[in-house]
Amino acid sequence: MTRLRIATRGSPLALAQSGGIARRIEETLGVETELVEVRTSGDRIENVSLAKLGGKGLFVKEIEEALLEGRADLAVHSAKDLPAAIAPGLVLAAFPERADPRDALVGRGARRGLADLPRGARVGTGSVRRRSQLLAMRPDLEVVPLRGNVDTRLRKLEEEGLDAVILACAGLDRLGLGDRIHERVDPNLLLPSVGQGTLAIEAREGDPLAGDLAAVDHPGTRAELAAERAFLSRLAGDCNVPLAALAERPSRDRVVLRGLVASPDGRRVVRATAEAPLADAARAGIRAANQLLGAGAAAILEAIRAEAIP
């Protein structure tokens, strides 16, 4: 194979991310690459919340179809866009080293962080996870629904008179917009989304290319994602569920995962922490999820899913 076709969303951020992976693959595997832009359902519908549209798979389905149909050889995703289960016949072949997983506050004017926002400040986010944690911490805030690519969200900061917007640090950094960040929010205040800051390279199961991609895999990042995605899977999480998790490696052979489930209004938040050996990192995610289910998260999840039934 002389040229690898890489399926990607067409947003500026997705192209920046997939372009970086393409260059890394060219350097590592010595093959040429080309980007194949795929417009997903999530890209086509911008003014409706993801929870109402059907969740994370909206940014993945058409890209996976391109892989399965042979229109692309591999795909690059933001790991936080991946649903708990990927399409049969595909495999997550590599996770390059993780970027900053934290949330970023971008404010208007001279304000520098969450603590500096005035009472009643208007904060934009399209994430139920961010909304619930913001309201748990600052119930006085007005959280404004926000969708669109990074540039659109930054523009709406001014156009809609918002005091701040919450985005991912990694996305802003990859676009060269890290200087717009007023606060890289401590995960103790805003626990990130599963997979935030991580890219996932997907390939066809059984394709020799899937094995070759091990050359760009980062074992520590893979272990963190194994814990976080096990947590997501155990809770059957999606975009309409305010859950968060972050796995970290305090030592070379251990993984510690912090996770939470919250009610959409932020009035109920259940937290858990669990750890496991690096070689069995998924166990940390499962343990944390089981702790949450036994501590009240099951009732929160049941209520959220009952409300989602038409």
Specify the CATH number for the domain of residue 114: 3.40.190.10
Work out the average pLDDT over 11-17: 96
From CA 258, how far away is CA 231, in angstroms rounded?
Answer: 10
Mean pLDDT of 228-257: 92
Band the pLDDT of 39: cuts 50, 70, 90: confident
> What sign does the dihedral 180-185-187-193 (CA atoms) show?
negative
Q: What is the pLDDT of residue 66?
A: 96
Residue 191 covered by a domain: no
pLDDT bracket for residue 306 (50, 70, 90): confident
| Number of compact structural domains in the chain | 3
- Residue linked to tokens 């404004």: 144
Catalytic residue among 43, 73, 81, 116: 81
Highest mean pLDDT among 59-68, 76-85, 191-200: 191-200
Q: Which helix (H) or strand (E) holds 75?
A: strand 74-78
- Lowest-pLDDT choice from 56-65, 243-252, 255-264: 56-65
Final residue in a domain of this structure, among 184, 208, 237: 184
User: Is residue 238 among the annotated active site residues?
Assistant: no
> Residue range 133-139: average pLDDT?
96
Residue 193 lies in a domain: no
pLDDT surpasses 80 at 51: no
**119 and 168 in one domain?**
yes
The structure tokens listed for 7 are: 């399926």
My answer on whether 90 and 204 are in the same domain is: yes
Are 111 and 122 members of one domain?
Answer: yes
56 pLDDT above the threshold of 60:
no
Distance in angstroms (rounded) separating the CA atoms of residues 79 and 17: 12
In a domain, 133, yes or no: yes
pLDDT more than 70, % of the chain: 93
Whether residue 298 sits in one domain with residue 230: yes
Characterize the bridge pairing of strands 74-78 and 3-8.
parallel
Chain mean pLDDT for the chain? 92
Please give the model's pTM, rounded to 2 decimal places.
0.92
Residue 231 lies inside a defined structural domain of this protein = yes
Whether residues 87 and 2 share a domain: the answer is yes
